[in-house]
A and B are shown apart, each in its own frame.
Chain A
Amino acid sequence: MTKFLIIVTGILGLAVVFQILRTFQLAAKLRGKNDWEVTDHENKTQALMMPIFMVFFFGFVIWQIMRWGHLALPEAASVHGEQTDMLLSVTWWIITPVFFITHILLFYFCYKFVYNKDRRADFYPHNNKLEMLWTIVPTIVLTCLIIYGLVTWNKTMTPIAEDTDHVLIELYGKQFDWTARYAGEDMRFGDANIRRIAGANVLGIDSADVNAADDKIVKGEFHLPVDKPVQFVFRSQDVIHSAYMPHFRAQMNCVPGMKTQFNFVPKYTTEEMRQKVGNPEFDYLVLCNKICGAAHYNMQIKIVVESQEDYDKWLAEQATFIASNEEAPVQPEKPEVVEAEAAAPAIENDSTKTE
C-alpha cells in the first residue's frame, strides 16, 4: 500500500512539475519570447554568479585547509621522507598560485565580458608570440620539477649497499594480515616457497636451508631500531597487497610470485613521535593499500621504532625459526615436506627461481 502511494505521489509530482514548466513556456510565448532564449537579465545574473562562486570556492578551499589541515600526516619519520616532503612543498608553491591566478582570470573574464548587444567581441584568433610564451614557461618550470623529482626518486629507490650496517626484514602479506621475518645474524633469509606452507610454517620456509635457522618470524607488531637503515623485502601469498607506511613516506606493492623492495631510515622512535603529534597512543602502522578482498580495510600491523638497545633486547626474545619449528606440535610434518621435495625436484627449482 505504501509503495503504491509513493508511486502515485511520484507520478502526481512529476505531472505538477511538467504543468509548471508548461506554464512558463506559454507565459514566455505570450510575451513574445522563447523560454530558452537568454535574457539580458539572466545573462547579467549568471555573470555575477561567477565571482560569487569564486569567493565561495576559494573560501571553501581555505576553510578546509584551516579545519582539516592538521589532519595531514605529521612530519616524515624517515630520512628520505624529509626530502619527499620538501619536494611536495615546492610543488605546492608552484601549483597553488597557478590555481588561484587561472581561476581568478576565468571567473573575472566571465563577469567582465558578459554579453552586451552594443558591443562586439574582439576578433582575435591567434597570437604566436603569446602561445610560445605559455608553452615555454610551463616547459621550463616543469623541467625543473622533473629534474628535482627524479633526483629525489632515485635517491629514495636506491637499495642499501650490502656492506652498510642495516636491518633486513621481510614483510609478508596475505588475506588479511601481515607477517614479518628478520633475516637474523647471517643477514640471509632461508628459502621460502608457498608450496611448503604447512601447519606452523606459515611462510613456507625451507627448514633444510641453513640460512633459515636463525630467521625470526613475528606477527602483530615488528620493531625497528631508530636511525638505522632498514631494507624491506616484500612478498605476498595470494593476491596483490601493498605495504603502506605513510608516516615513513614508504609504500611498495607485495606481488605473488615475486619479491619487491623498499628501504628507509626511521628517524624518530615511536615515543618521540608520540610527543611530536601530542598523542600518547600514536603508533606507526603498515596499512594494506591495494584492494585485496573483503577485509582489505582492516589489514594492518604495528611498527615499533625504538633505540638500538631496546630493539636488540626485543629481538633476542623472539624465537628463531629453528627453535619455533622444533617446539611446534606439527613437527611430524617436517619430514613429509622434505620427502616431497626429494621426490619432486621441480619444486626445488621453483623455490630458487625468484631469487
Chain B
Amino acid sequence: MSAHAEHHHHEEDFLFKYVFSQDHKMIAKQFLVTGFTMGFIGMLMSTFFRLQLGWPGKSFTVLETFLGDWAPNGVLDPDKYLALVTIHGTIMVFFLLTAGLSGTFSNLLIPLQIGARDMASGFLNMLSYWFFLTSSIIMLYSLGVEGGPASGGWTIYPPLSALPQAIPGSGTGMTLWLVSMSLFIVSSLLGGLNYIVTIINLRTKGMKMTRMPLTIWAFFLTAILGVLSFPVLFSAALLLVFDRSFHTSFYLSDIYIAGEALGYDGGSPILFEHLFWFLGHPEVYIVLLPALGLSSEIISVNARKPIFGYRAMIGSMMAIGFISFIVWGHHMFMSGMNPFLGAVFTFTTLLVAIPSAVKVFNYLTTLFKGNLVFTPQMLFAVGLVSTFISGGLTGIILGDAALDINIHDTYFVVGHFHIVMGLSAIFGMFAGVYHWFPKLFTRMMNNKLGYAHFWITIVCAYGVFLPMHFMGFAGMPRRYYEYSNFPIFDGTLEIGTIISVFAIIAALGQVIFLINFVYSAIWGTKAPKNPWHSNTLEWTTPVEHIHGNWPGEIPEVHRWPYDYSKPGKELDYVPQTVPLEEGELDEGNHH
C-alpha cells in the first residue's frame, strides 16, 4: 500500500469531504445536483411560457404566484416572455447540458474508466465546480434585478443585447449574464484542460487509446472542442462588455434609438455572430458527444454485444468534432453575409450527415442479434438513437441554405434543435444517471419508476417537438409572444395548445425521476460491485467511495472494453482486466 492511500485514509471533516472536495466522484455529484437543479428551473420556465403560448392571453393564477409582477393579473408580460425564453435556453444549453452533463460524467468516469486515482489536478477540478456554482448563482440572481434578466435570446446578438434602450433586460440583467457566462467559461476550461491532461497522462498500464471505452473518447473530444471554442465566446463577450460599458464600436454602428442617435460607428453585429457561432455550433456537439459516448457504452453493455465498429465510432466522432468547427455559418445564412460563404457552409454542414449516419447504422447493427436487457438506461439510449435520427434528418433541410431562407428562425428550427440536441443529450444524460447511479450514490435506482419515466418522457417529448415543425412550415417565427396579430396563423392555435399540454405532462413526468433519484440516493437498495456485468474498470472499484478509487494497486488492462458474448468464454462478458488467452485477438486493436 502506497503512502498515497494512507494519506487519504484519515478522517476528513465534513467541510472538506462534501463541500470543498477535490475528489472527482464528489465533484461529479456536485455537478450533477447543481446541473439538475438548474435544469428543473429551466424546465419550469418553459412550462410557464408554454402556458402563454398554448393559451395566449389567458390568465393563470400559477403564473402570478410564481412570477409575481412578471405576470400582472396572471398574464405573462411580453418582455418577460422573452426573458424566460432567454434564460431557459441559456440554462438548458450551458448549465444543464454542458456543465451538468460533461461535468458529471467526465468527472466520474474519466479516472474510473481509465484507471486513475483521480483527475490530474484535483484542485483545478474543485475550482471548476466552484466557478460553475458561482456562475449558476449569478445567473439565477439576475432574474431578480431591475429590468429583468437578459432577454435578447440565448444568442445575445447585439445591438439588442448591448442597449438597455432596446430591451430592459439589456441593462443590469445582461451585465450579470455576461459575468455569469464568463465564470462559466472559466469553469469549463479548467474542467476541459483537466480532462484532456488526465486522459493523456494517467491511463493505467495497458490502457491504450484504442482500449478506451467510447465514453472516454467522447469526453476527450468534447473537452478538446470546449477548450478550442469557449475562449472565442469569451472574447466575443469581452468585446460586448467593451461596447456596452466603454462605448467602443466593435459590434455597433449607426444606431438611432429612443429618439437619439448614438455615437457608435464602424462596428458590425455580424462580427459578433461569427464569434458567437464559432463557439455556438461546436457547443451543440459539446452537448451531444458525451451523450453519444454514454449511450454507446450503455447499448453495448445492455445488448450484451460489442459495439459495432468501435474504430468507426471513434472516427465518426472525430469527424463530427472536426467538421463542427467549420459549419458555424449555417446559423447565418440570412445574416447578410456574402452568399458565397453561405454556399461554403452549406457544403460543410451537409457533410456532417455522413459521420452521423455512420453512427446511427452502427448503433442499429449493435442491436441486431444482440441479447437486449431493457434496463431504464437502455430505454433512454434507444430513445436517443430515435431522437438523433429524427432531429438529424431535419438538419439536412436546415443545413441547405436555399431551404433555410424560408425556415430560418421559425418554429421548425425550435423543433429541430430540441429533438437533435435537447432530447438526445437529455436522454443520454438520463441513461447515464440510471446506469452509473451505483457509482455515484452506491445504491440502485428503482426500475419501475424508470420505465414510467422513460415512456412518459419520450411520448411527451415528441408530442411537444414534432408539432413545432408544422408551425415552422406555416411560416411562424420563433420568439413570438403570441400570433393573434396574424390572421394567417389562426388555424395554428390548437397546435400550440397541444404542445403545451404535452409540455406540462412532460414536466410532471420528471417528478417521477426526481422522486426516484432522491429516494434511491438515500434508501435505495445497496449496489453490488458490478450490477450490469460490465467490462469497464469502474466496476472493479469497491462500492463504497474511497479516495484513490482502488484500495490496492490499480488494475492492469489487457483488452478492449467490448468483449461481450465472446465465443468460447464461459460468461457473456470479459472484463478488461482479464488477460488475453493464448492466441486470443484483442478486438479493438487489429483490423
**A interface residues with partner B (beta carbon < 8 Å):** 14, 17-18, 21-22, 24-25, 29, 34-38, 42-43, 46-47, 49-50, 53, 56-57, 60-61, 64, 68-73, 83-84, 87-88, 91-92, 94-95, 98-99, 102-103, 105-106, 109-110, 113-116, 119-128, 130-131, 134-135, 138-139, 142, 145-146, 149-150, 152-154, 156-157, 174-175, 193-195, 197, 204, 234, 237-240, 242, 244, 246-247, 249-253, 255-258, 260, 281-283, 285, 287-298, 300, 350, 353-354
* Residue B343 CB within 8 A of the other chain: yes
Interface pair B159/A102, CB less than 8 Å apart: no
* Residue B335 CB within 8 A of the other chain: yes
* A-chain residues with CB within 8 Å of residue B82 when the two chains form the complex: 291, 293-294, 296
Interface pair A256/B254, CB less than 8 Å apart: yes
In the complex, besides A122-B565, A258-B336, 12 extra interface pairs with C-beta distance below 8 angstroms are A49-B455, A64-B470, A68-B470, A72-B470, A84-B402, A91-B400, A99-B393, A125-B309, A149-B402, A153-B402, A156-B405, A255-B269
A17-B515 contact given A72-B473, A84-B406, A287-B477, CB 8 Å threshold: yes
Docked CA distance A153–B339 (Å): 8
Beta-carbon contacts under 8 Å, B500-534 to A? 515, 519, 523-525, 531
Task: List 17 interface pairs A-B (beta carbons < 8 Å), by A numbering.
Answer: A17-B515, A36-B531, A37-B447, A46-B379, A113-B367, A115-B374, A121-B303, A124-B365, A126-B308, A145-B350, A156-B402, A197-B256, A258-B253, A281-B487, A297-B477, A297-B482, A297-B483
Interface pair B485/A134, CB less than 8 Å apart: no
Q: Mark B350-379, 1 if CB is under 8 A from A, else 0.
A: 110110011011111101111111110001
Interface pair B261/A252, CB less than 8 Å apart: no
A294-B405 contact given A71-B473, A149-B346, A237-B255, CB 8 Å threshold: no
* A-chain residues with CB within 8 Å of residue B474 when the two chains form the complex: 68, 71-73
Q: Mark B391-410, 1 if CB is under 8 A from A, else 0.
A: 00110110011110110111
Interface pair A138/B400, CB less than 8 Å apart: no
* Residue B143 CB within 8 A of the other chain: no
Taking the nearest CB of chain A, how far is it from the CB of B38, in angstroms?
22
Taking the nearest CB of chain B, how far is it from the CB of A84, in angstroms?
6
Select one of A193, A195, A197, A289 contacting B409, CB under 8 A. Answer: A289
* Residue B564 CB within 8 A of the other chain: yes
Docked CA distance A154–B567 (Å): 56
Taking the nearest CB of chain A, how far is it from the CB of B473, in angstroms?
4
| Stretch of B91-99, B172-180, B459-467 lying at the A interface | B459-467
Docked CA distance A98–B395 (Å): 13
Docked CA distance A287–B410 (Å): 11
Docked CA distance A105–B265 (Å): 57
Interface pair A60/B479, CB less than 8 Å apart: no
* A-chain residues with CB within 8 Å of residue B467 when the two chains form the complex: 64, 68
| Stretch of B209-217, B238-246, B488-496 lying at the A interface | B488-496
The 6 closest A-B pairs by CB, nearest first: A257-B253, A246-B475, A260-B336, A46-B374, A157-B339, A36-B444
Select one of B266, B306, B524 contacting A123, CB under 8 A. Answer: B306
* B-chain residues with CB within 8 Å of residue A110 when the two chains form the complex: 367, 372, 374, 382
A98-B160 contact given A121-B565, A237-B256, CB 8 Å threshold: no
Interface pair A291/B479, CB less than 8 Å apart: yes
Taking the nearest CB of chain B, how far is it from the CB of A86, in angstroms?
10
* A-chain residues with CB within 8 Å of residue B405 when the two chains form the complex: 84, 156, 249-251
A138-B371 contact given A71-B473, A121-B305, A249-B405, CB 8 Å threshold: no
Interface pair B361/A134, CB less than 8 Å apart: yes
* Residue B390 CB within 8 A of the other chain: yes
Interface pair B303/A193, CB less than 8 Å apart: no
Taking the nearest CB of chain B, how far is it from the CB of A146, in angstroms?
5
Chain B residues touching A, range = 35 or more
Docked CA distance A239–B482 (Å): 21
A125-B310 contact given A36-B531, A68-B495, A113-B371, CB 8 Å threshold: yes
Interface pair A125/B306, CB less than 8 Å apart: yes
Select one of B369, B372, B393 contacting A98, CB under 8 A. Answer: B393
A297-B255 contact given A102-B364, A103-B386, A110-B382, CB 8 Å threshold: no
A131-B566 contact given A197-B261, A297-B485, CB 8 Å threshold: no
In this complex, the member of A25, A116, A174, A296 whose beta carbon has the largest number of chain B beta carbons within 10 angstroms is A296
Docked CA distance A17–B517 (Å): 13
* Residue B342 CB within 8 A of the other chain: yes
Docked CA distance A247–B406 (Å): 9
Select one of B264, B368, B373, B449 contacting A115, CB under 8 A. Answer: B373
Interface pair A157/B342, CB less than 8 Å apart: yes
Docked CA distance A283–B487 (Å): 9
Select one of B265, B335, B389, B488 contacting A103, CB under 8 A. Answer: B389
* B-chain residues with CB within 8 Å of residue A22 when the two chains form the complex: 523
* B-chain residues with CB within 8 Å of residue A292 when the two chains form the complex: 160, 166
Taking the nearest CB of chain A, how far is it from the CB of B252, in angstroms?
7
Taking the nearest CB of chain B, how far is it from the CB of A155, in angstroms?
8
Docked CA distance A103–B394 (Å): 15
A175-B365 contact given A99-B390, A124-B306, A258-B268, CB 8 Å threshold: no
A35-B446 contact given A60-B462, A146-B347, A251-B334, CB 8 Å threshold: yes
Select one of B363, B371, B525 contacting A25, CB under 8 A. Answer: B525
**Closest residue of A by beta carbon distance from B254:** A257
Interface pair B402/A256, CB less than 8 Å apart: no
* Residue B78 CB within 8 A of the other chain: yes
* B-chain residues with CB within 8 Å of residue A56 when the two chains form the complex: 459
**Closest residue of A by beta carbon distance from B364:** A105
Interface pair A142/B353, CB less than 8 Å apart: yes
Interface pair A61/B466, CB less than 8 Å apart: yes
* Residue B544 CB within 8 A of the other chain: no
**Closest residue of B by beta carbon distance from A198:** B261
Taking the nearest CB of chain A, how far is it from the CB of B486, in angstroms?
7
Select one of B167, B335, B397, B564 contacting A255, CB under 8 A. Answer: B335
* B-chain residues with CB within 8 Å of residue A37 when the two chains form the complex: 447
Docked CA distance A355–B522 (Å): 68
Taking the nearest CB of chain A, how far is it from the CB of B219, in angstroms?
22
* A-chain residues with CB within 8 Å of residue B264 when the two chains form the complex: 257
Docked CA distance A194–B270 (Å): 19
* Residue B445 CB within 8 A of the other chain: yes
Select one of B458, B475, B562 contacting A125, CB under 8 A. Answer: B562
In this complex, the member of A18, A131, A139, A252 whose beta carbon has the largest number of chain B beta carbons within 10 angstroms is A131
Docked CA distance A160–B524 (Å): 70
A106-B403 contact given A42-B374, A153-B346, A291-B153, CB 8 Å threshold: no
* Residue B267 CB within 8 A of the other chain: yes
Taking the nearest CB of chain A, how far is it from the CB of B388, in angstroms?
10
Select one of A36, A122, A139 contacting B305, CB under 8 A. Answer: A122
**Closest residue of A by beta carbon distance from B458:** A53
**Closest residue of B by beta carbon distance from A295:** B78
A154-B339 contact given A122-B305, A239-B166, CB 8 Å threshold: yes
Docked CA distance A69–B361 (Å): 30
* B-chain residues with CB within 8 Å of residue A64 when the two chains form the complex: 466-467, 470
* A-chain residues with CB within 8 Å of residue B448 when the two chains form the complex: 24, 35
Interface pair B267/A257, CB less than 8 Å apart: yes
* B-chain residues with CB within 8 Å of residue A204 when the two chains form the complex: 256
Taking the nearest CB of chain A, how far is it from the CB of B440, in angstroms?
14
* B-chain residues with CB within 8 Å of residue A24 when the two chains form the complex: 446, 448
* Residue B146 CB within 8 A of the other chain: no
In this complex, the member of B253, B265, B515 whose beta carbon has the largest number of chain A beta carbons within 10 angstroms is B253
**Closest residue of A by beta carbon distance from B261:** A195
Docked CA distance A18–B524 (Å): 11
* B-chain residues with CB within 8 Å of residue A36 when the two chains form the complex: 444-447, 524-525, 531
